[in-house]
Amino acid sequence: MDTPFKLKHENPKKKANCFSKLFFMWAAPLFYTGTKRLLRLEDLFKPLDPCKSKYIGDNLEQSWLSEVAKAKENNRPPSLLKALNRVSPQPLVLSWLIAQFQEGTDSNTTTMFSAASILILVSTVVIFIMHHSNCNVMLMGMKLRVGVSSLINRKVLKLSTKVLDEAGAGKVVNLLSNDCQRFDLICYYLHYLWIMPFQIILVTYFLWDAVGISCLAGILSLLLLTVPLQAMLGRNASALRLKIAERSDERVKLMNQIISGIQVIKMYAWEKPFELLIETLRGKEISVVTKASYLRGFYLSCMVFIERTTLCVTLVCFVLLGNGLQANIVFSMAQFFNILQGCAF
């Protein structure tokens, strides 16, 4: 919920003009302060009204109660997704990033400068669209996280002590610190679900136009490498996340018990045994977190490896079919496979 600390500075975005919003100039004073010293809590701005926990929580709670009532009428379980969709509909932001510069044999200086100018203009427009799109999408995810966290907090306050003890404080802490944090990224990655088919179709068309049937070798190799890898890594990552949650629950539960009985522990000088016990549980948790980090590092390295491999396979097939390599083909294909690799991962 809202912190008892009162922020003093009004949010400058309220009175910012279009130019300031376009270039994020309203946040420049905060960035400048951060270059001079470490930012403190009193340096932050007041949140906008649509971003306040009370505003979001009230709207989401009303939507959730309405969803529960409709679910009872239709004899079905209530859906949090439907409640979130009524409160925060997903904005559809379409960012076109097709920048291809190919030099023709009969191109003159004017044509080349015109193409370069168009490329720079498109890149500049994409930068503005990308940053504002990412900002709005992350803001939408933040609102979802704040709303769900507010609902969890309100539900916990209504639970009896017996039910809360059975649920465990560690589980509640994990819900707020881990699970709710996923809402910050879900709005960002959710757009790939609808944009991915369009990207694949367009990129496949451009690849076929550039190298012909040779592009199928690269696309098939991309599928053969990514699909099994994604299945294996996804299964292992889910298992590790479950283990991390279990280890965190155990540690938080023990910490709550220690804090509740801290007077007895201090009275009998049991600090060292309990410290060793906490270190043991924390060590088990860190070992699982380390495995998850190694798995993520392997996943990120495969992104670079698979992109280069599929590009190499396509170029080899293209040459074996009796074609000659050209710089414009190689660099444009590298861009296309980078887009495909982004869709696959």
Q: 285-323 pLDDT, tens per residue?
A: 889 889 988 888 888 888 778 888 888 888 888 888 887
Mean pLDDT of the chain: 74
**Which tokens belong to 30?**
């905060």
pLDDT at res. 240:
87
Contact of 180 with 152, CB cutoff 8 Å? yes
Provide mean pLDDT across the span 127-145: 77
Phi, psi of 139 (to 5 degrees): -65, -40
The dihedral region occupied by 44, where left means phi > 0, alpha psi between -120 and 50, and beta the remainder, is beta
Residue 114 lies in a domain: no
Give the C-alpha separation, 40 to 105, whole Å: 59
Residue 196 lies in a domain: no
Quickly count: other Cβ atoms within 10 Å of residue 92's Cβ.
Answer: 8
Residue 82 lies in a domain: no
| The amino acid at 39 | L
Residue 189 lies in a domain: no
Provide mean pLDDT across the span 207-217: 82
Residue 230 lies in a domain: yes
**The pLDDT of residue 258 is above 80:** yes
As for how many domains the chain has, the answer is 2
pLDDT digits (tens, 9 = 90+) for 43-53: 777 776 666 66
Residue 66 lies in a domain: no
Q: What is the CA radius of gyration of the chain?
A: 27
**The pLDDT of residue 60 is above 80:** no
Domain that holds residue 3: 1-27+39-46
Residue 4 lies in a domain: yes
Choose between 261 and 87: higher pLDDT.
Answer: 261
Q: Concatenated DSSP letters for 262-319?
A: HHHHHHTT-HHHHHHHHHHHHHHHHHHHHHHHHHHHHHHHHHHHHHHHHHHHHHHHHH
Domain of residue 340, CATH code:
1.20.1560.10
Q: Per mean pLDDT, which range of 1-15, 130-144, 165-179, 213-227 is the poorest?
A: 1-15
Residue 239 lies in a domain: yes
Q: Against a cut of 0.85, is the pTM above it?
A: no
pLDDT at res. 97:
31
Using N-to-C axis directions, what is the helix angle for 183-211 and 214-260, rounded to 10°? 170
Using N-to-C axis directions, what is the helix angle for 53-74 and 109-158, rounded to 10°? 70
Choose between 99 and 292: higher pLDDT.
Answer: 292
